[in-house]
Homo-oligomer: A and B are copies of this chain.
Amino acid sequence: MVTMTIESLVSELRSFVGITRKRSIGDMLGYFPDISDKVIADFGEDAAVIDNGDEVLLLAADGIWSVLMDADPEWAGYCAVLVNVHDIAAMGGTPIAMVDVLSVNSPEVTDAVLRGVKRGIEKFGVPIVGGHLHPDTPYSALDVAILGKARKDGVILSSTAEPGDSVVVAVDLDGTVHPSFRINFDSTSHKDRETLARQISSMRALGERKLVTAGKDISNPGMLGTLGMLLETSGVGAVVDLDAIPVPESLNLVDWMKMYPGMGFVVTTRDPSEVVDVFGKHGLSAARIGRVIEERRLEVVKGEERAVLFDFERDRVTGIN
């Protein structure tokens, strides 16, 4: 096995496309004027939070990367459901329904994408209730939006981590790298609905018990990239001990850090041992991997080695803060 230096990890992650393609998000915000007093939180969150009396409504959208669509349309369709359900779960919410916009250029691709979507619907128990079909596009694409809700006092934001908090991650290590898309780790497609529902509900349990200060689901930027987005949005930094990160047996750390895990969350908390315990009871492998600091940078540590992965004073992940 090749020994990883911390510099090589930092350099690989800094140029990892899963992270770099988030960079232009912040530039768009000027086009989206803030014109509603019902919106509690919006960009930078996994889902927007809208005031609706005692509850909040959660609204999110996710598109499937064309690279994934080309590699495996059925897996892409399944992932469209997976990532949207996670966007609501990460906020401490319950998913209600989805709508989709499907653009297709062949009946075979349509069928494959929709078979994947159907499998996702059945696996996670969230219906698609409408949408739009472009039957004649020169490309294939699938965009899905999701509606959810949460108790107003149980909602988990990305923007509220505070210096002194612990950083805890939770993942399902029981899976394999997807054969047709090597930066996806599939821990869900062979699990039963009850197991997945228990894993997914871990964040709602944490939110309702007010055990976390912030949280996010681990998406395409990988575990540290997702943490970077959370820290940037919160206006803070963190120090992470790489040796504390739970890693599947079959993978090395660098590959794992570029992986979209089937089921994974990163949270900040004042009560890491209780949070690790709650995640564990919901069937996820959780660990305290670091702490939030005031300095706006994400620093990684491995034994005696240290390196800065992101310096938010200079770098940007999304540019949202």
A interface list, Cβ under 8 A from B: 21, 23-25, 28, 31-36, 38-39, 42-43, 45, 47-48, 50, 52, 57, 59-63, 65-66, 96-97, 99-103, 110, 114-115, 117-118, 121-122, 125-139, 141, 143, 145, 147, 149
Contacts and interface: CB of A to CB of B under 8 A. Distances in A.
14 contacts: A24-B135, A25-B133, A31-B118, A32-B121, A32-B129, A34-B127, A35-B122, A39-B97, A48-B130, A59-B99, A59-B145, A61-B143, A61-B145, A63-B134
Given A35-B127, A59-B129, A65 B134 contact: yes
A147 B57 contact: yes
A77 to B, nearest CB: 9
Given A66-B134, A138-B139, A145-B99, A121 B45 contact: no
Contacts of A127: 32-36, 39, 42
Contacts of A129: 32, 36, 39, 42-43, 48, 50, 59
Closest 3 CB pairs of A and B: A145-B145, A48-B129, A31-B114
Contact of A99 (B60, B65, B115): B60
Contacts of A126: 35-36
Contacts of A121: 32-33, 35
